[in-house]
């Protein structure tokens, strides 16, 4: 045990019926930024992702592919590991629901719920969407163009009647409402919290949590004819990875509860069913459930038939990894829906990164290399303008913590870019190129102030752009042991006389012609 505060963050586990897309990358990126930030801010972090591998959809997809379900899952699950590697996600654990540790955990949770009188056997009759692995009430359905009934997600539904075990969800309605009211930030953003609260206040029915019409899943303890409903199976992954069912073990006490991040389409399962399961089993509820919005592409809903699917590997190849990471975190207020456009991405690459941030670092470090013997310059007394820039830079850590405490990634980046803008204006106002002739000592002080501001900026942008920020810190000769946030103060400022390597550009410009031709 390190003695550090702990922080546990999870993506949803991704369903293996398709290859990774921009939505998967976006959710995992947000978690990665949080995980990296918290590590740099002195926390012990566990960052979990993985794959959800059971259910009727997987069974059907494997059959169509002519392979057994586990072989099918092995292949698709690996594609999510590749996404994590290619996007430089700093995951600590990758869980699969087909792992023995998970089977043990889910069956233990089931037994606990049975022991507490929360599960009973009956039969289910109603509308079921195979694609969503979810049941829907008649008043939730709409009619498709061919008259077929559709779920709110657009998935077709079919009438199902079969024996089923039920979880007494209706008994938890008041306690869920009490949870939402007593912890207003349990669900974020507020729009999602209001949606969930309204849904629960409208009345809850007991939840079907087993099926007998397919076999690819975790058997119900003592009744193997029943396979566990995918959501009690899938959701339990979060406590499996934390060490459940050993609730008294050091690992479980160390990590649980977690912050869960997901797309808004699976909000209900996480914000209603999951806390109800946990409370019914006597387990602490998550710290927070955060549901972000969906992406469109060039103003259109993303669709294979339209041909506008955003392939994660393709946009990284086009713009660069850190450029894409920055664009996705900056372009949209996190929690809202967003549109990915190639012109918008190019503007972020060229305006924000190449012009504002990259050019600031490049011209300051180039002036130091040329005029200060390639060393951190010695400084004289600081002026009001000098203190103004450095104080605002040092103040960014507190501002960033405040924004990320509610997962406001875009606001953190806006605050950082305000200081980048201040630094660029400071360069123009102070004109160190002119001071070289009139007051070289003042020039050295100005360049020192700028280099120190860049050190702070590069340190704080590490969670979003780890590779690029690392290159900037390399050019300031900052050691690996000096890159955490506890270095962001005047006491650990740059040391005059430190030799600096030859400066190199970090953010190349993206060629606009390619955007116009696309």
pLDDT for 308: 76
pLDDT for 358: 97
Q: What is the mean pLDDT of residues 234-253?
A: 97
The first and second tokens of residue 59, run together, are: 């069974």
β pairing state of 158-167 and 207-208: antiparallel
pLDDT for 313: 93
How many whole angstroms separate alpha carbon 199 and alpha carbon 517? 47
pLDDT for 304: 66
How many whole angstroms separate alpha carbon 292 and alpha carbon 33? 14
The first and second tokens of residue 356, run together, are: 């504002």
467: pLDDT strictly greater than 50: yes
518: pLDDT strictly greater than 80: no
pLDDT for 310: 85
Distance of CA 417 to the CA centre of its chain: 21
Confidence of residue 131 (pLDDT cuts 50, 70, 90): confident
For 421-441, the pLDDT digits (tens) are: 999 999 999 999 999 999 999
341-513: in CATH 1.10.730.10: yes
pLDDT for 515: 44
Residue 136 contacts residue 124 (beta carbons within 8 Å): no
For 20-67, the pLDDT digits (tens) are: 989 999 999 999 999 999 999 999 999 999 999 998 889 988 999 999
More confident residue, 104 or 60: 104
Element (H, E) at 187: strand 187-188
- The sign of the torsion formed by the CA atoms of 314, 319, 78, 12 equals negative
DSSP state of 486: G
For 12-24, the pLDDT digits (tens) are: 999 987 789 899 9
398: pLDDT strictly greater than 90: yes
Q: What is the mean pLDDT of residues 224-231?
A: 91
More confident residue, 418 or 125: 418
pLDDT for 146: 83
How many whole angstroms separate alpha carbon 180 and alpha carbon 340? 33
Q: What is the mean pLDDT of residues 283-288?
A: 98
Q: At what angle do helices 409-430 and 321-331 cross, to 10 degrees?
A: 110
The first and second tokens of residue 431, run together, are: 């004109």
C-beta atoms surrounding 437 within 10 Å: 8
pLDDT for 254: 97
Tell which residue, 476, 482, 509, has the closest CA to residue 361: 476
Q: What is the mean pLDDT of residues 69-84?
A: 95
Residue 239 contacts residue 260 (beta carbons within 8 Å): no
Residue 60 contacts residue 18 (beta carbons within 8 Å): no
473: pLDDT strictly greater than 90: yes
Q: What is the mean pLDDT of residues 226-251?
A: 95
- The sign of the torsion formed by the CA atoms of 32, 36, 42, 45 equals positive
pLDDT for 1: 58
Q: What is the mean pLDDT of residues 336-360?
A: 95
**Considering the chain, what is the average pLDDT of its residues?**
94
Helix %, strand %, coil % of the chain (to 5):
50, 15, 30
Q: What is the mean pLDDT of residues 505-509?
A: 95
484: pLDDT strictly greater than 60: yes
Give the three-state DSSP class for 134. strand
pLDDT for 349: 96
pLDDT for 362: 97
Q: What is the mean pLDDT of residues 223-230?
A: 93
Q: In what order do the strands lie in the sheet with 207-208?
A: 134-136, 119-129, 158-167, 207-208
Residue 258 contacts residue 287 (beta carbons within 8 Å): yes
Which string of DSSP letters, residue by residue, matches 278-325? Answer: HHHTT-PPPSEEEEE--EEETTEE--TTTT----HHHHHHHH-HHHHH
For 149-199, the pLDDT digits (tens) are: 999 988 999 998 889 999 999 999 999 999 999 999 999 999 999 999 999
pLDDT for 305: 66
pLDDT for 416: 98
Give the three-state DSSP class for 209. coil
396: pLDDT strictly greater than 80: yes
Length of the chain in terms of residues written: 518
Tell which residue, 5, 30, 17, has the closest CA to residue 260: 30
pLDDT for 299: 83
Tell which residue, 41, 53, 61, 102, has the closest CA to residue 80: 53
Residue 508 contacts residue 471 (beta carbons within 8 Å): no
pLDDT for 512: 63
**Tally of helices (H runs) and strands (E runs) in the chain:** 22, 19
**Residue carrying the six token digits 């972000």:** 292
Q: What is the mean pLDDT of residues 303-327?
A: 88
The first and second tokens of residue 339, run together, are: 């549109």
Residue 366 contacts residue 503 (beta carbons within 8 Å): yes
SS (H, E, C) 456-468: HHHHHCCCCCHHH
């Amino acid at each position: 045990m390190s003695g550090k505060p702990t922080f546990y963050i999870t993506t949803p586990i991704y369903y293996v019926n398709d290859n990774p897309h921009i939505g998967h990358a976006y959710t995992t990126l947000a978690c990665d930024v949080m995980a990296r930030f918290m590590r740099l801010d002195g926390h012990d972090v566990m960052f979990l992702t993985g794959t959800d591998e059971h259910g009727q959809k997987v069974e059907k997809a494997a059959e169509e592919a002519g392979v057994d379900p586990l072989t099918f899952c092995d292949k698709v699950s690996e594609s999510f590991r590749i996404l994590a590697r290619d996007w430089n996600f700093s995951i600590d654990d990758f869980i699969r629901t087909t792992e023995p540790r998970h089977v043990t955990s889910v069956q233990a949770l089931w037994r606990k719920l049975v022991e507490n009188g929360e599960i009973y056997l009956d039969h289910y009759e109603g509308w079921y969407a195979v694609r969503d692995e979810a049941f829907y009430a008649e008043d939730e359905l709409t009619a498709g163009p061919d008259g077929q009934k559709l779920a709110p997600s657009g998935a077709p539904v079919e009438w199902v009647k079969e024996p089923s075990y039920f979880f007494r969800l209706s008994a938890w309605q008041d306690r869920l409402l009490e949870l939402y009211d007593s912890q207003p930030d349990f669900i974020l953003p507020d729009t999602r919290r209001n949606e969930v609260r309204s849904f629960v206040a409208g009345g809850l029915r007991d939840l079907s949590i087993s099926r007998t019409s397919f076999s690819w899943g975790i058997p119900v303890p003592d009744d193997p004819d029943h396979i566990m409903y995918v959501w009690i199976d899938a959701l339990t992954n979060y406590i499996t990875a934390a060490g459940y069912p050993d609730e008294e073990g050091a690992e479980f006490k160390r990590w649980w509860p977690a912050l869960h991040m997901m797309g808004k389409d699976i909000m209900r399962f996480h914000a209603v069913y999951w806390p109800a399961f946990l409370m019914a089993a006597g387990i602490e509820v998550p710290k927070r459930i955060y549901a972000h919005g969906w992406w469109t592409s060039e103003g259109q809903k993303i669709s294979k038939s339209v041909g506008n699917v955003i392939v994660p590997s393709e946009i990284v190849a086009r713009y660069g990894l850190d450029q894409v990471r920055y664009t996705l975190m900056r372009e949209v207020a996190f929690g809202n829906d967003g549109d990915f456009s190639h012109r918008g991405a190019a503007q972020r690459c060229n305006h924000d990164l190449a012009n504002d941030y990259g050019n600031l670092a490049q011209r300051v470090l180039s002036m130091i290399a040329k005029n200060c013997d390639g060393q951190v310059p010695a400084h004289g007394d600081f002026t009001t303008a000098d203190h103004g820039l450095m104080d605002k830079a040092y103040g960014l850590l507190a501002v960033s913590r405040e924004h990320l405490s509610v997962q406001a990634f875009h606001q953190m980046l806006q605050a950082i870019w305000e200081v980048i803008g201040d630094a660029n204006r400071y360069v123009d106002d102070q004109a160190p190129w002119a001071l070289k002739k009139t007051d070289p000592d003042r020039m050295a002080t100005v360049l020192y102030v700028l280099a120190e501001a860049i050190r702070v900026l590069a340190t704080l942008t590490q969670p979003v752009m780890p590779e690029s920020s690392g290159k900037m810190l390399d050019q300031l000769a900052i050691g690996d042991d000096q890159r955490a946030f506890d270095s962001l103060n005047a006491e650990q400022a740059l040391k005059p006389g430190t030799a600096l390597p030859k400066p190199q550009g970090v953010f190349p410009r993206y060629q606009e012609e390619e955007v116009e031709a696309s």
